């Protein structure tokens, strides 16, 4: 694969065209303004990335239900929200020529207990994070009415995203969030039509895709983020992922991004709970390459990619889009530098403490610190102290939690 292939356009099944093969994978920014809406910092962050040469920008997870959040600073897109902040966000993100998609998500059981919101899951199975498990509550097993509401929320949020000027949505069915929970036999212990066989466990994802596609225009992209595996013994595995991909082949899906892991096994950060060793870069490339010949839609893979040579290797394996995340918090114009012929390499922050859960949280704190710096039009600082970053992050999240709980109480009143 030639170097210029990274910067060749990619037509999608819906008719839209990505300007190049480099995509910003989603990261949870926690940068919402008052009312859980996009604000100036988030808007400037995406303007920075768009002008840095990335062809596809996928936002951090946007919640389809304001009562169920991955974090207190998350953005909510649901019926009744003002759309102008989202229009401003889309305009900034497209200012450099990028396509921009909103990632739609519901966290399910991966919702912090102190947020005071709704904890839904396919079955009443709580997170097992050892001594940190108390941070999350025991979820409610969803009934048919809850499932119907969830499907409608994804469809409505997608419709609003298109009205706001975004080019597509990515349905988040990975990383242990709600749709991923339905796919995994560890978290889905149902015996009705939504559980048991893989076809039943995938039914919710299939119904969400169909509902979303029915509410948006033909050229609006509908993508899916899927785990290659949960990286937990007895969980969703690579054979399951292949079977789900074959189901998606029969649906109007424009791109599938392959990732992996969950809060219990953060493979997306390079750590697994089942002892498997991941590659130093492009963690999930081996599996993505195996699926590339079986997928009817383009595939994207992400996971620690920071060098141009690795990005070129991803394309040479038949994967259509190279997903990057943390690297773009370090060097936001990395694609533009590569296109100019530079061999720029993003040095990613690494936190290797004995407490693996705390290491994952500290890693995210360092990354979020970079996001805030970029959104404030300052240079990144990837060598920032993990201890200081974690402390600042905890203080900030405390303030955001108080603000969110006040907002949630007003909604409920």
CATH of the domain at 262: 3.20.20.70
- Residue 1: is its pLDDT beyond 50? no
Residue 275 pLDDT: 41
Residue 234 pLDDT: 57
Task: Tell me, yes or no, whether 406 lies in a domain.
Answer: no
- Residue 108: is its pLDDT beyond 50? yes
Task: Tell me, yes or no, whether 154 lies in a domain.
Answer: yes
Comparing 364 with 98, the larger pLDDT belongs to 98
Task: Tell me, yes or no, whether 155 lies in a domain.
Answer: yes
Residue 129 pLDDT: 67
Using a pLDDT cut of 70, give the percent of the chain over it: 91
Q: Which residue has the tokens 């919101």?
A: 117
Structural domain range at position 314: 3-348
- Residue 296: is its pLDDT beyond 80? yes
pLDDT tens per residue, range 164-206: 999 999 999 998 899 999 999 889 999 999 999 999 999 999 9
pLDDT tens per residue, range 176-186: 899 999 999 88
- Residue 237: is its pLDDT beyond 50? yes
- Residue 93: is its pLDDT beyond 60? yes
- Residue 232: is its pLDDT beyond 60? no
Q: Which residue has the tokens 């509908």?
A: 222
Residue 113 pLDDT: 87
Residue 276 pLDDT: 39
Residue 279 pLDDT: 46
Residue 304 pLDDT: 80
224: β partners: 171, 256
Comparing 330 with 284, the larger pLDDT belongs to 330
Mean pLDDT of 303-318: 89
pLDDT tens per residue, range 380-390: 988 889 999 99
Task: Tell me, yes or no, whether 378 lies in a domain.
Answer: no
226: β partners: 173, 258
- Sequence-separated (6 or more) residues with CB below 8 Å from residue 98: 19, 49, 50, 54, 55, 56, 57
Q: What is the largest CA-CA distance in the chain?
A: 59
- Sequence-separated (6 or more) residues with CB below 8 Å from residue 152: 211
Confidence at 287, pLDDT banded by 50, 70, 90: confident
Task: Tell me, yes or no, whether 61 lies in a domain.
Answer: yes
Task: Tell me, yes or no, whether 391 lies in a domain.
Answer: no
Task: Tell me, yes or no, whether 274 lies in a domain.
Answer: yes
For the chain, give the mean pLDDT.
Answer: 89
Cα distance between the two ends of the chain:
58
Count how many domains the chain has: 1
- Residue 97: is its pLDDT beyond 80? yes
Q: 231, 301, 311, 307: which is closest to 266 by C-alpha?
A: 231
- Residue 96: is its pLDDT beyond 70? yes
- Sequence-separated (6 or more) residues with CB below 8 Å from residue 336: 52, 53
Residue 288 pLDDT: 81
Structure token pair of residue 88: 């401003």
Distance, CA of 400 to chain centre: 21
The Cβ-side half-sphere exposure at 149, using a 13 Å CA radius, reads 12
Q: Which residue has the tokens 């905890």?
A: 394
Task: Let me know the angle formed at the C-alpha of 229 by 251 and 75, rounded to the nearest 5 degrees.
Answer: 70
| C-beta of residue 387 within 8 angstroms of C-beta of residue 380 | no
Query: Helical H runs in 7-143?
Result: 40-50, 84-93
Could you count the other beta carbons within 10 Å of the beta carbon of residue 6? 20
- Residue 39: is its pLDDT beyond 60? yes
Confidence at 209, pLDDT banded by 50, 70, 90: very high
* Burial of residue 17, with CB atoms counted within 10 A of its CB: 0-12 exposed, 13-18 middle, 19 or more buried: exposed
pLDDT tens per residue, range 2-22: 447 999 999 999 999 999 999
Task: Tell me, yes or no, whether 369 lies in a domain.
Answer: no
What are the angstrom distances between the C-alpha of 315 and each of 8, 24, 107, 131, 287?
Answer: 11, 16, 31, 41, 14
Which of 28-37, 67-76, 158-167, 341-350 has the lowest average pLDDT? 341-350
Mean pLDDT of 374-380: 94
pLDDT tens per residue, range 114-138: 998 899 999 998 877 677 778 888 8
Residue 262 pLDDT: 54
């Amino acid at each position: 694969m030639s170097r210029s292939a990274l910067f060749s356009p990619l037509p999608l099944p819906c008719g839209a065209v990505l300007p190049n093969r480099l995509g910003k994978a989603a990261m949870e920014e926690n940068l919402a303004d008052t009312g859980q809406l996009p604000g100036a910092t988030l808007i400037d962050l995406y303007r920075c990335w768009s002008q840095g040469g990335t062809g596809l920008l996928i936002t951090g997870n946007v919640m389809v239900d304001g009562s169920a959040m991955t974090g207190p600073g998350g953005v909510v897109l649901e019926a009744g929200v003002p759309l102008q902040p989202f229009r401003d966000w889309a305009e900034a993100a497209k200012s450099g020529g990028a396509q921009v998609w909103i990632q739609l998500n519901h966290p399910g059981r991966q919702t912090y207990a102190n947020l005071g919101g709704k904890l839904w899951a396919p079955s009443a199975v709580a997170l097992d994070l050892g001594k940190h498990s108390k941070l999350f509550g025991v979820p409610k097993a969803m009934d048919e009415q809850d499932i119907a509401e969830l499907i409608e929320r994804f469809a409505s949020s997608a419709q609003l995203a298109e009205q706001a000027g975004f080019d597509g949505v990515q349905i988040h069915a990975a990383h242990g969030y709600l749709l991923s929970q339905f796919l995994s036999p560890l978290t889905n212990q149902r015996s009705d039509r939504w559980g048991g066989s893989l076809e039943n466990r995938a039914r919710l994802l299939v119904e969400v895709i169909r509902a979303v596609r029915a509410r948006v225009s033909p050229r609006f992209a509908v993508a899916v983020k899927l785990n290659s595996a949960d990286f937990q013994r007895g969980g969703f595995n690579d054979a399951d992922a292949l079977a789900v991909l074959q189901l998606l082949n029969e649906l109007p899906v424009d791109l599938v991004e392959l990732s992996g892991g969950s809060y219990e096994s953060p493979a997306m950060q390079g750590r697994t709970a089942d002892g498997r060793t991941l590659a130093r870069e492009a963690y999930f490339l081996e599996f993505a390459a195996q699926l590339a010949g079986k997928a009817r839609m383009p595939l994207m893979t992400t996971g620690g990619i920071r060098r141009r040579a690795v990005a070129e290797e991803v394309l040479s394996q038949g994967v259509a889009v190279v997903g990057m995340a943390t690297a773009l918090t370090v060097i936001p114009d990395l694609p533009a530098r590569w296109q100019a012929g530079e061999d720029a390499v993003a040095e990613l922050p690494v936190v290797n403490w004995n407490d693996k859960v705390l290491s994952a949280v500290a890693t995210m704190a360092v990354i979020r610190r970079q996001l805030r710096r970029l959104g404030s039009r300052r240079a990144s600082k990837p060598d920032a102290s993990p201890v200081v970053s974690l402390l600042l992050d905890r203080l900030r999240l405390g303030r955001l939690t108080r603000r969110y709980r006040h907002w949630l109480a007003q909604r409920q009143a």
